[in-house]
A and B are shown apart, each in its own frame.
Chain A
Amino acid sequence: MKLTADAIVIGGGLVASAVAYGLTRLGLKPVMLDEGDVAYRASRGNFALVWTQSKGPGVPEYQQWSRLSSDKWSELAAELQSETGVDCGHRRNGGIHVCLSEDELAKRTQVVEQLRAEAPPGRYRAQMISRAEMLKLLPAFGPDVVGGAYCPDDGTVNPLFSLRALQRAFSARGGRYFCDSRVSSIAAAPRAFTVETASRSISAPRLVLAAGLGNKPLGEQVGLNVPVRPVRGQIIVTERLKPVLEYPTTYIRQTVEGGILIGESREEAGFDDTLNHTVSQTLAARAIRTFPFLKQVGVVRTWAGLRVMSPDVYPIYEQSSAYPGAFVCTCHSGVTLGAAHAFEYAKAVVDGHLPEKLGRFSSRRFDVQARH
């Protein structure tokens, strides 16, 4: 079947759905192509923080981009709720980073002070706080907690409801979502793209690659260098409890539904998304040191997900110079950056050029010529 559209977005996760929804807000009727449940689905395996306090030491553009998105998440959640009736579960009470040793505390203090120095005056609002102040926020902290950082701008969402809301709003505004639509090839010319799937051939003047780890091979077809690799992370979820953790911490939080999520691991494991239970043990042990009550609490599930990681951890935002009209949007923080992608990245795609503030995220930074 042959179709035409205003834009083609390849990907079906939070990054793709945010950009695709953003395009519909600007009046476009895009097509979104979701590979299907064979994809790695980072959007369904993540920890779902909307986080700013640790973002981008040494890269102020990233700190500002993360904060912009965090600032706009409330607006996005409200808009999606009014358009779809789906509550993204966005909460912005502030978030805590926990330190379990003096060494961790010293390192975190350095990060916080660097980020403050690199932000416009008054914009970076995290503070190091003492153990006594930590206990005032969350009395459940255990004796090993020596202190930490608190940032009032941080929060969380429910990533599954957020994905649902974005896709439903996208469809309601005239976008077309196709599942089980793995892209087999892309024929590219400047501002003219034809994308083939098993059952469709779709043409559009704009193309957005937002397919997570799939962006690397897709990028090669449209002159974009997207050197992303998988970095495995594991999450443990416990039985549901009465509200006990009012604030999220970087690695442990209670969901709106009551389960406690525990997630703090990074492993280079290629495309293996199975669990490593040595890691699960480390996660559980550290979680119990942080909140001793967890020792009594049952685990109901554990899973692993694959982060979409660039060589320097920052997003890759680029328009193809060989085939203008083709963009890539990829990052490992699809939740935090959701609002920035919906409101700002989509606008750049419609405008036909990326704003200067996103220049830092061009993949040209990975070229040998860019290195010293």
Chain B
Amino acid sequence: MFKRVIEFEGPVLGVVINGRECSVPASFTAAAAMLASEDGATRETPISGAPRAPYCMMGVCFECLLEIDGVPNQQGCLVPVAAGMRINRQRGARTV
């Protein structure tokens, strides 16, 4: 979705974004990984289902909610990526 203005030279690791295997810089958060992916959107709103992307990237706005390793509603900007992490779009509100 976004074009990188710098190329990362540090270590990378593999994650699975919406079912697709990708390689991302190890310093990324899950939200950054999402932004760097083709998709970009992190969640769909509970009311209309409209797509949303990360906004504040500092834990405040809750736009970057993701399902990470099976746990829904995680603030993706606060979660560093890890090898093999499965990151999926948060579709609507969490059901309990």
Contact = CB atoms under 8 A, between A and B. Distances in A.
A92 to B, nearest CB: 22
B96 A297 contact: yes
Given A239-B73, A240-B73, A296 B96 contact: yes
A107 interface: no
B29 to A, nearest CB: 17
A242 B73 contact: no
Contact of B93 (A242, A298, A300): A242
Contacts of B92: 242
Interface of A is mostly: mixed
A241 B96 CA distance: 7
A346 B79 CA distance: 52
B96 A240 contact: no
Contacts of B93: 240-242, 258
Nearest to A243: B93
Interface in B1-50: 46
Interface string B66-77: 000000011000
Contacts of A297: 94, 96
A198 interface: no
A172 to B, nearest CB: 28
A298 B95 contact: no
A132 interface: no
Nearest to A291: B96
Interface residues of A, number: 11
Nearest to B59: A300
A293 B96 CA distance: 7
A322 interface: no
Interface string A212-256: 000000000000000000000000000111101000000000000
Interface in A289-346: 293, 296-298, 300
Interface in B51-96: 62, 73-74, 92-96
B77 to A, nearest CB: 14
A298 B67 CA distance: 13
Nearest to B96: A293
A240 B95 CA distance: 9
A298 B65 CA distance: 12
Nearest to B75: A300
A244 B46 CA distance: 14
Contacts of A239: 73, 94
A316 to B, nearest CB: 39
Nearest to A257: B46
A293 B95 CA distance: 10
Nearest to B72: A239
A298 B62 CA distance: 13
Contact of B46 (A258, A293, A296, A298): A258
A102 B79 CA distance: 44
Nearest to A296: B96
Nearest to B65: A239
A351 B73 CA distance: 53
Contacts of A300: 62
Contacts of A258: 46, 93
Contacts of A241: 93-96
B76 to A, nearest CB: 13
Interface string A260-271: 000000000000
Given A241-B95, A242-B46, 7 more contacts: A240-B93, A242-B92, A244-B95, A244-B96, A293-B96, A297-B94, A298-B73
27 contacts: A239-B73, A239-B94, A240-B46, A240-B73, A240-B93, A240-B94, A241-B93, A241-B94, A241-B95, A241-B96, A242-B46, A242-B92, A242-B93, A242-B94, A242-B95, A242-B96, A244-B95, A244-B96, A258-B46, A258-B93, A293-B96, A296-B96, A297-B94, A297-B96, A298-B73, A298-B74, A300-B62
Interface of A: 239-242, 244, 258, 293, 296-298, 300
Interface of B: 46, 62, 73-74, 92-96
